[in-house]
Structure 1
Amino acid sequence: MAAQPVARRLEARHPRLVARAGLGAITCGLLLAALTVAAGLPVLNAVTTVVLGAGYGFVLTYGLGAVARIAAPGGLAGLTAVAYALVYVGMFSPLLLTVLAKAVPLDAALTAMAVLAAACLGYVSRQTRAAGCTVPDGRAVPDVRECSAGR
């Protein structure tokens, strides 16, 4: 929750800036988690937790903002419910990591997750530069900043 005010300020500058910041923080946090495990330094847990928490908060804020931008009139509640259901699927990642750690070293699994997060960051960054967006009535908006939070 502490990340949300910062995320909203980033979103006001550019809608996907908060997504890029969140994915960057998640990538760094997962690499820190891998380092924590590999080096056996539990003292890094606090730093890792803050970085991952900020990243997750940014990405959640971006996702809910995107839902608000694309929802049809009268469809916001249903679309928000779907978004939260998908977010909660991610809550199974610790269980997945626990199961995976029986076959693969935990630091390797965390590094692989960091690579996936970095790939998502690359994709979002390319989309930010390449795409405009539309508003609910179908008008194209050439400057992506105008699409932020329904503006």
Structure 2
Amino acid sequence: MSIRINKFISEAGLGSRREAEAIVRQGRITINGKRAALSDSVNAKDVVCLDDVELPVRDLILEIEADEAYKDAIDRKIRNKEEKIQKRTHLSSKSASLRKSSKNNPENRYRYKKMLEMEEELDFDEEQSAYARLNKKKRKR
């Protein structure tokens, strides 16, 4: 894994990324004995020196890789949970009020009410469904 030099310096605790850019522009950073530029990247095998003092490149890069792997694992868990929830909602619902065939479904309630109103208008006495008769009894109470 390679990391840009300004991020590496800021992760080493030598300042923010903007301060790291200023340090690189001043020419105080060397990578493998050569003066560093802002576009340079650092690997675990490189030797990075600030004012001729060697920085622990390998340890910092391993630490950064571990942090990124941890963040990726958490993101993966969150995505998996979200996918499971989405799959669950697309399956037939267990709640009676959400089933398409249920009388408790809000859409079906509306249809049943309309059906009852039509039956009342036509005044079916003997031919009424059991469901319609029950609702009529409830209304009379």
Please give the range of the TM-score, normalised by the shorter of the 2 chains.
under 0.3
What TM-score do the two structures reach when normalised by structure 1? 0.22
Which structure features the higher share of helix residues? 1
Where relative contact order (Cα < 8 A, 6+ residues apart) is larger, the structure is 1
What TM-score do the two structures reach when normalised by structure 2? 0.24
